[in-house]
Chains A and B, each alone.
Chain A
Amino acid sequence: MLNDKRLRFIVGHYASGKTEFSINYAIKLVEMGKKVALVDLDVVNLYFRSREKKEFLEKLGIKVIASSVNASAVDIPAISAEVFTPMQDTSYEAVIDVGGDPDGARALGRYKDYIVEGDYDMFYVLNANRPETQTAEKAVEYLRKIEDTARARVTGLINNTHMLKSTTVEDVLKGQEVALEVSKMTNIPIKYISVIEKIAKDLPDNLEGEVFPITLYMREDWMI
């Protein structure tokens, strides 16, 4: 994680699990003693956005930057000017949670000047249990469309294939096959295998990519 670039953009297909990964990643960074900013650039989703966890994350010492309009139920694509802070202030380690699909990635265009080849990482979150990214061909198509809109290249893949709280090792391994195929087709390495804690230890240890155990912060007790 510490070898990742200072600016980490998290992109992917709609509802692939970007927000859960972003939150977990930011928490791990702050636990390592880093100065962390989590930027919620999601102008596509209206429910289950990382800004809903703002209070919890700020208690942990993470700076959360989201809409310039301070209301949980805002339905307008208003992004705070404060997003520039972690882009410009190099003392920050930044995790930028981008909205789903090419539509969501459009918000990145504004920050083109800061997305300099070699200075950033852009992680593509892949969930092979989502109908639109079940095959490598479809997943690559999405990846390329997001790159085109974002005007930036993906630097790493994250296999985040899950079935929520009932994820099995088989789900992860099925996703790993798709991710390997995507990796072969695009020459982009698999950086992480993001998986709920309880099954992380059951994964075989020869997989490409670092196993990244996550806690589901966005799922309430009563959700499956």
Chain B
Amino acid sequence: MTKVLMRGNEAIGAAAIEAGCKYFFGYPITPQSELPEYMARELPKIGGIFLQAESEIAAINMVYGASGAGARVMTSSSSPGISLKQEGISYIAGAELPCLIVNIMRGGPGLGSIQPSQTDYFQATRGGGNGDYRVVVLAPSNIQELVDLVIEGFDIADQYRNPVMILGDGMIGQMMEPVEFKKPKPRDLPKKDWATTGTKGKRKPNIINSLYLEAEELEEHNKKLQAKYQAIKENEVKVESYNIENADVVIAAYGTTARIAKTAISQLEKEGYKVGLIRPITLWPYPYDEFEKINDKCKGILTVEMNTGQMVDDVKIAVKGKYPVHFYGRTGGMVPTPGEIVEKVKEIYGGEI
């Protein structure tokens, strides 16, 4: 297929339809509203259903229902809307239902602003709902990767019967770039024999539920969930790294910020600085092991984010105190420039190349 130019939000919709998603439940919010608009226009054409719910809470519970019935289904929102969905996400994780949730992040806290941010890192990776559950969090850095991860995200969700979240900042939703739609590497997906599709009198009813009346049973259920999360940690980590074997400073960044960091790195290289990059593509499971490959002479790690340093905790866990961990971030919808990152790296160098 030839490349076309698409805006991030539209590309998510096109990718989801390509992946066989036929149901979308959501509620509009800037800066992701082009996605429900796209689905409202395109899903009826393929016999699917777009439904604008009365609220984000209703939308996520519609996802619960559709997924319980075995459908490929998704919802999307932006930061404050994703906050509203947390209860439903916990229920979905508890009931072991696959679905795709898209968060195109905007400035916070509260209503914040409509401009790009990465301030929902904690919420996405630690869970904003109750209980010991995990959501697979994918953080694309360009629109092609966004498309690829949306398509693969549905498969990951089905394989593990778990919600998968696409975590993009407002730039990812709004930016236009060339994309093409490729088939993901095939996965051996389990049959959805747990779905509530009607017994036709031939089997016992399937029950979709997250409530357990016996403590022992709930503990068993939690053990099962933990075993699943362990398998995801072993199989699904995605990371891109650059020059960490030789770098004096390694930048850790994801999403749009990683793009800006790459531009800063090429500027620094022209001046003789040796700077590497670790770009987590999965924020959960986090690519802790990648940091083990950083060379011993590295002077420090610079985490760059559009927040006040939420990923710093994971970077510190990863480097185990071996290197100092620095931070540079902008908030409120401000996007860091390559020049600002260049200055910060030079500061860590302390005036010596």
**Interface, chain A (partner B; CB < 8 A):** 14-15, 46-48, 72-73, 75, 127, 129-131, 134, 162-164, 166, 220-224
Contact = CB atoms under 8 A, between A and B. Distances in A.
A129 B30 contact: no
B177 A47 contact: no
Contacts of B233: none
B176 interface: yes
B344 interface: no
A166 B178 contact: yes
Nearest to A74: B114
A129 B4 CA distance: 5
16 contacts: A15-B5, A15-B7, A46-B114, A47-B115, A47-B116, A47-B170, A73-B107, A129-B5, A130-B4, A130-B6, A131-B14, A164-B178, A220-B337, A221-B263, A222-B338, A223-B259
B176 to A, nearest CB: 5
B260 interface: yes
Interface residues of B, number: 29
A130 B5 contact: yes
Contacts of B116: 47
B175 interface: yes
SS class of chain B's interface: helix, strand, loop or mixed? mixed
Interface string B267-309: 0000000000000000000000000000000000000000000
Contacts of B263: 221-222
Contact of A73 (B3, B5, B115, B262): B115
Interface of B: 3-7, 14, 30-31, 107, 113-116, 142, 170-171, 174-178, 259-260, 262-263, 333, 335, 337-338
A75 B5 contact: no
B177 A224 contact: yes
A46 B31 contact: yes
A127 B31 contact: no
B3 A163 contact: yes
B99 to A, nearest CB: 26
A163 B333 contact: no
Nearest to B33: A46
Given A129-B4, A129-B5, A163-B3, A75 B30 contact: yes
Given A72-B115, A221-B263, A164 B6 contact: no
A14 B10 CA distance: 11
Contacts of A222: 259-260, 262-263, 338
A223 B175 contact: yes
Contacts of A134: 4
Contacts of A223: 175, 177, 259
